[in-house]
Amino acid sequence: MRPDRHDAHEAGRPDGAAAVVIGGGLAGITAALALADAGLRVTLVEGRPRLGGLVFSFRRESAVGELTVDNGQHVYLRCCTAYGWFLDRVGARSLVPLQDRMDVPVLDADGLRLGRLRRTALPVPLHLARSLATYPHLSLAERANVGRAALALKKLDPEDPRLDGVDFASWLRRHGQSPRAVEALWDLVGVATLNARAGDASLGLAAKVFKTGLLSDNGAADIGWARVPLGEVHDSLAREALEKAGVRVALRTRASGLDRTEDGSWRVTVDNGPHGREQLAAGTVVLALPQRETHALLPAGSIDGQDRLLDIGTAPILNLHVVYDRPVLRKPFFAALGSPVQWVFDRTEASGLAALPGGAGSQYLAVSQSAAQDDIDRPVAELRERYLPELARLLPAARGAGVRDFFVTRERTATFAPAPGVGRLRPAARTQNPGLYLAGAWTATGWPATMESAVRSGLGAVREALTELGFPQGQLPQEVA
């Protein structure tokens, strides 16, 4: 809970000191909440008419009625403790629950063999031993080699800068992983979490994913996802939490300038449409924008090698949305092998389809395609022709089903590209200008571009700000305090 203003003042915190957070995605929301919790007077500016950044929902009129559509399927793991803090802070934990135990159905399109990656209550690494021993998508020899590679991976230090320049696929080959093992296990997990295949991913970031998610704690990889539209959590509830914390939220307001004043404070110039231009004064500024927008606003000399921000690449994610006239999937989700289809989720309840008069008996599936460079610019008709037969091949019940709606959402710059060498390009939260900090999933959090990384970046920026101000950090989660 946030301390009230009187308590903040009594604790010697910077009650009334002004801060501006630029950007209303998860990093910016987190930074604004944490700064307000510490007693600062915070303004959050966001150019869009909503909060949430790339984690949002929208309304779509379809043949069955008005659906609430997520721009893409987002999941998190139990090891994502900072994002868990965020859910608690905005009062959304019950809306984004975790599995009791990790359980991932994996369907091979060739022969329709179903395997499962499930954990037990045994300690790491035995928690996955039974699942791997019966995993039908790998041979006995491949399963044994996977175990040996996992033990070798457990010995790596993700923060070792030498790992950053090595690609994950090369390391897997050196440790006896066959192309089939890479597809059926390492890329199954890695593509969804890194937004890159093993050959395009930094070994350091891959080691972070697998060590933290699969080799740290037996429950670390339990999966959570929103049972309501993403916008309800990351816009509506987030805005309510910000307002209760005393944060001024300025939507449809874009920062166009950032200058240091003669007294050492900051002046943020914002454009808010019909209301014209406004200048906000602050002692603390958190830039929580994508890397190119950050580069455009950063005063010269704010960080070493500032132009290197432009060298941080991006990677796309494509989502296909299919409404069938009958149920075709009994599970909440599954992953696919031997098919262009990657992960499929049932969004019938969350979209509101089940409650629509015209939606009775229908089912809404979201097909989430990461590392989607080959498909991101294909026309909708071509994607329909490519993917509907694949879904029918994977799901026998879909073969006779009618398609009531098919549409596509595209995020061409969904994440930063986790390519080898990206670690040296990611900047820390603190800049060389006092009072100015950076946040965003692309900054140096040690995590790939996930919701966890975004929240950690916002908390990390606030940690640096409070340290510089000389005030307590007791409201921050311990892992970033």
Q: What is the pLDDT of residue 481?
A: 47
Q: Which of 86-95, 189-198, 269-278, 299-308 has the lowest mean pLDDT?
A: 269-278
| Residue 251: Cβ-neighbour burial (10 angstroms; 0-12, 13-18, 19+) | middle
Largest CA distance in the chain: 71
Q: Inform me whether the pLDDT recorded for 105 exceeds 80.
A: yes
3-class SS at 55?
Answer: coil
Residue 70 has pLDDT above 60, yes or no: yes
Measured CA distances, 266 to 87, 269, 297 (Å): 31, 10, 13
pLDDT digits (tens, 9 = 90+) for 369-411: 999 999 999 999 999 999 999 999 999 999 999 999 999 999 9
Per-residue pLDDT band at 122 (split at 50, 70, 90): very high
The radius of gyration computed from the CA coordinates of the chain, to the nearest angstrom, equals 23
Amino acid 395 reads: L
- Phi and psi for 122 in degrees, rounded to 5? -70, 155
Residue 477 clears pLDDT 80, i.e. is over it: no
Q: How confident is the model at residue 479 (pLDDT cuts 50, 70, 90)?
A: low
φ and ψ at residue 370, rounded to 5 degrees: -85, 165
Name the β-bridge partners of 44. 21, 249
Percentage of the chain beyond pLDDT 90 is 90
**pLDDT of residue 114 exceeding 90:** yes
Q: Would you say the pTM of this structure is higher than 0.85?
A: yes
For 33, the token pair is: 């909440």
Give tens-digit pLDDT for 309-323: 999 999 999 999 999
pLDDT digits (tens, 9 = 90+) for 336-357: 999 999 999 999 999 999 999 8
Contact 346, 365 (CB under 8 A): yes
Question: What local confidence, expressed as pLDDT, does residue 161 receive?
Answer: 96
